[in-house]
Amino acid sequence: MFTSPHPDVEIPDLSVYDTLFGGIAPSDLDRIALRDGTTGAETSYRQLIGQINALAGALAAAGIGVGDVVALHAPNVPAFATVFHGILRAGATATTVNGLYNAEEIEAQLRDAGATMLFTVSPLLPQAWAAASACGIPSDRVVVLDGAEGHASLSDLLLRRLPAPDVSFDPATHVAVLPYSSGTTGRPKGVMLSHRNLVANVQQSIPQLGMVADDRILAVLPFFHIYGMTVLLNLALSRRASLVTMPRFDLAEFLRIIQDFRCSYVFIAPPIAVALAKHPLVDEFDLSSVHTIFSGAAPLDATLGRAVEERLGCRMRQGYGMTELSPVSHAIAFQAEGASLDSVGTTLPNMQCRIVDPETGAEVDYPAEGSDEESAAGELLCAGPNVMLGYLGNEEATRETLEDDGFLHTGDIATVRGDGTVRIIERLKELIKYHGYQVAPAELEALLLGHPAIADAAVIGVLDDEGQEVPKAFVVLQPGQDVTAEALMAWVTERVAPHKKIRRVAFVDAIPKSASGKILRKDLRAAEATPAGS
Residues that bind ligand ATP in the complex, under the rule CB under 6 A: 181-186, 188-189, 296-299, 318, 320-323, 344, 410-412, 424, 427, 516, 518
Query: If you write DSSP's letter for every residue of 466-507 in order, what string do you get?
Result: TS-EEEEEEEEEPTT----HHHHHHHHHTTS-GGG---EEEE
User: Pick from Mg ion, ligand ATP, none: which does 424 bind, CB < 5 to 8 A by kind?
Assistant: ligand ATP
For residues 175 and 197, is the Cβ–Cβ distance under 8 A? no
* 68 vs 430 by CB, closer to Mg ion: 430
* 188 vs 471 by CB, closer to ligand ATP: 188
What separation, in Å, do the N-terminal and C-terminal C-alpha atoms of the chain show? 51
* 57 vs 319 by CB, closer to ligand ATP: 319
* 296 vs 420 by CB, closer to ligand ATP: 296
For residues 9 and 349, is the Cβ–Cβ distance under 8 A? yes
User: Pick from Mg ion, ligand ATP, none: which does 78 bind, CB < 5 to 8 A by kind?
Assistant: none
Q: Under DSSP, is residue 329 helix (H, G, I), strand (E, B) or coil?
A: strand
User: Pick from ligand ATP, Mg ion, none: which does 318 bind, CB < 5 to 8 A by kind?
Assistant: ligand ATP
Query: Which amino acid appears at position 398 of this protein?
Result: T
Question: Please, what is the minimum distance in Å from the beta carbon of residue 116 to ligand ATP?
Answer: 25
Question: Please, what is the minimum distance in Å from the beta carbon of residue 181 to Mg ion?
Answer: 5
Question: Please, what is the minimum distance in Å from the beta carbon of residue 190 to Mg ion?
Answer: 12
For residues 196 and 97, is the Cβ–Cβ distance under 8 A? no
**Residues whose CB falls within 8 Å of the CB of residue 351, separated by 6 or more in sequence, listed in order:** 3, 4, 204, 329, 382, 383, 384, 386
User: Pick from Mg ion, ligand ATP, none: which does 188 bind, CB < 5 to 8 A by kind?
Assistant: ligand ATP
Question: Please, what is the minimum distance in Å from the beta carbon of residue 180 to ligand ATP?
Answer: 7
Question: Please, what is the minimum distance in Å from the beta carbon of residue 91 to ligand ATP?
Answer: 26
Question: Please, what is the minimum distance in Å from the beta carbon of residue 184 to ligand ATP?
Answer: 3
Query: DSSP assignment, residue 163?
Result: P
For residues 285 and 250, is the Cβ–Cβ distance under 8 A? no
Question: Please, what is the minimum distance in Å from the beta carbon of residue 419 to ligand ATP?
Answer: 18
Q: Please select the residue that binds Mg ion; options are 181, 401, 415, 514, rule is CB under 5 A.
A: 181
User: Pick from ligand ATP, Mg ion, none: which does 521 bind, CB < 5 to 8 A by kind?
Assistant: none
For residues 358 and 413, is the Cβ–Cβ distance under 8 A? yes
Query: DSSP assignment, residue 408?
Result: E
Question: Please, what is the minimum distance in Å from the beta carbon of residue 454 to ligand ATP?
Answer: 20
Question: Please, what is the minimum distance in Å from the beta carbon of residue 404 to ligand ATP?
Answer: 21
Question: Please, what is the minimum distance in Å from the beta carbon of residue 518 to Mg ion?
Answer: 9
How far is residue 410 from each of residues 322, 362, 363, 378, 445, measured CA to CA in Å? Answer: 8, 16, 15, 11, 22
- Per rule CB under 5 A, count of chain residues that contact Mg ion: 1
* 431 vs 455 by CB, closer to ligand ATP: 431
Query: Which amino acid appears at position 29 of this protein?
Result: L
User: Pick from ligand ATP, Mg ion, none: which does 299 bind, CB < 5 to 8 A by kind?
Assistant: ligand ATP
**CA 217 to chain centroid:** 16
Burial classification of residue 408, based on how many CB atoms lie within 10 Å of its CB (0-12 exposed, 13-18 middle, 19 or more buried): buried
Pairing of strands 504-507, 469-477: parallel
User: Pick from Mg ion, ligand ATP, none: which does 120 bind, CB < 5 to 8 A by kind?
Assistant: none
For residues 328 and 205, is the Cβ–Cβ distance under 8 A? yes
Our CA dihedral for 443, 445, 446, 450, rounded to 10 degrees, sits at 140
Question: Please, what is the minimum distance in Å from the beta carbon of residue 228 to ligand ATP?
Answer: 11
Q: What is the rounded distance in angstroms from the CA atom of residue 157 to the CA atom of residue 154? A: 5
Question: Please, what is the minimum distance in Å from the beta carbon of residue 183 to Mg ion?
Answer: 9
Q: What is the rounded distance in angstroms from the CA atom of residue 20 to the CA atom of residue 22? A: 6
Q: What is the rounded distance in angstroms from the CA atom of residue 406 to the CA atom of residue 402? A: 6
Q: Given phi > 0 = left and psi -120 to 50 = alpha, else beta, which region is 24?
A: beta
* 45 vs 101 by CB, closer to ligand ATP: 101
> Does 514 engage in binding with Mg ion (CB under 5 A)?
no
Q: What is the rounded distance in angstroms from the CA atom of residue 131 to the CA atom of residue 145? A: 17
Pairing of strands 378-383, 408-416: antiparallel
Residues in the chain: 534
User: Pick from Mg ion, ligand ATP, none: which does 245 bind, CB < 5 to 8 A by kind?
Assistant: none
User: Pick from Mg ion, ligand ATP, none: which does 412 bind, CB < 5 to 8 A by kind?
Assistant: ligand ATP
Query: Which helix (H) or strand (E) covers residue 199, if one does?
Result: helix 195-209
Q: Which one of the spans 134-142, 178-186, 352-360, 386-394 is the region binding Mg ion (CB under 5 A)?
A: 178-186
Report the interface residues with Mg ion, using CB under 5 A: 181
